[in-house]
Chains A and B, each alone.
Chain A
Amino acid sequence: MDPATTRKFEPDLGALFRPARSREDRRIAGIAGGMAHRLGVTAVFVRAAFLALIFAYGLGGVVYLILWAVALDTDATVDQPRAHAVGRQQLALFLMFTGLVAALLALEWWIFPAVTIPTTVLLFGTAGILDRGEGSTGPLTQEERPKYLQVLLGSLLIFAAIVVFATSSQVELASVGGLLAGFAMGIGGLGFVFSGWVGRLFGDLTSEREARVRGEERADFAAHLHDSVLQTLALIQRSDDPAEMNVLARGQERELRDWLYTPTKDGPELLSESLQERADRVERDHRVPVEVIVVADIPMTEQLLALSAAAGEAMTNAARHSGAEKVAVYAEQADGVVEVFVTDHGSGSEVVAVPPDRKGISESIRGRMQRVGGKVSISTGEDGTEVALSLPVEAST
Chain B
Amino acid sequence: MTKVFLVDDHKLFLSGVLTELDEHFDVLGAVSDVDLAIEDIRELRPDVVLVDVHMPGGGGITVVRNVLETHPDVLFLSLSVSDAPEDVIAMIRAGARGYVTKSIHPHELVEAVRRVAAGDAVFSPRLAGFVLDAFSSEPAIEVDDELARLTPREREVLRLIARGHAYKQVARKLDISIKTVESHVSAVLRKLQLSSRYELARWATEHRIV
- Give the B-binding residues of A (Cβ under 8 A): 289, 291, 293-296, 325-328, 330, 332, 334, 341, 343-345, 383, 386
Contacts and interface: CB of A to CB of B under 8 A. Distances in A.
B164 A330 contact: yes
A330 to B, nearest CB: 4
Nearest to A386: B163
Nearest to A327: B164
A378 to B, nearest CB: 14
B164 A296 contact: no
A334 B136 contact: yes
B40 to A, nearest CB: 33
B162 A295 contact: yes
Contacts of A343: 163-165
A291 B125 CA distance: 9
A326 B108 CA distance: 13
B133 A296 contact: yes
Interface of B: 103, 105, 125-126, 128-129, 132-133, 136-137, 159, 162-166, 169, 172
Nearest to B126: A293
A296 B103 contact: no
A289 B164 contact: no
A296 B134 CA distance: 9
B103 A289 contact: yes
B133 A291 contact: no
A293 B126 CA distance: 6
Given A325-B105, A341-B164, 18 more contacts: A289-B103, A293-B128, A293-B162, A295-B133, A295-B136, A296-B137, A326-B164, A327-B164, A328-B125, A328-B163, A328-B164, A330-B164, A332-B159, A343-B163, A343-B164, A383-B165, A383-B169, A386-B163
Contact of A330 (B125, B166, B169, B172): B125
Contacts of B103: 289
Q: Which label, helix, strand, loop or mixed, suits the secondary structure of the A interface? A: strand
Contacts of A334: 136
Contacts of A325: 105
9 contacts: A293-B128, A295-B133, A330-B129, A330-B159, A330-B164, A332-B159, A343-B164, A383-B169, A386-B163
A294 B159 CA distance: 11
Q: Of residues B125, B128, B172, which shows the largest number of chain A Cβ atoms within 10 Å of its Cβ?
A: B125
Contacts of A295: 129, 132-133, 136, 162
Contacts of B162: 293, 295, 328, 330
Contacts of B137: 296
A295 B125 CA distance: 11
Can you list the 4 inter-chain pairs with the closest CB atoms, starting with the nearest? A328-B164, A293-B129, A343-B164, A330-B163
A341 B163 CA distance: 7
A189 B166 CA distance: 78
Nearest to A324: B164
Contacts of B169: 383
Contacts of B165: 343, 383
Nearest to B132: A295
B129 A294 contact: yes
B105 to A, nearest CB: 7
B25 to A, nearest CB: 23
Contacts of A296: 133, 136-137
A295 B85 CA distance: 12
Contacts of A294: 129, 133
B181 to A, nearest CB: 15
Contacts of A383: 165, 169, 172
B136 A293 contact: no
B136 A291 contact: no
Contacts of B164: 291, 326-328, 330, 341, 343-345
B207 to A, nearest CB: 10
B188 to A, nearest CB: 14
Nearest to A329: B164
A371 B165 CA distance: 30
Q: Of residues A328, A330, A332, which shows the largest number of chain B Cβ atoms within 10 Å of its Cβ?
A: A330
Contacts of A386: 163
A345 B163 CA distance: 11
A291 B163 contact: no
A139 to B, nearest CB: 48
Contacts of A291: 125-126, 164
Contacts of A289: 103
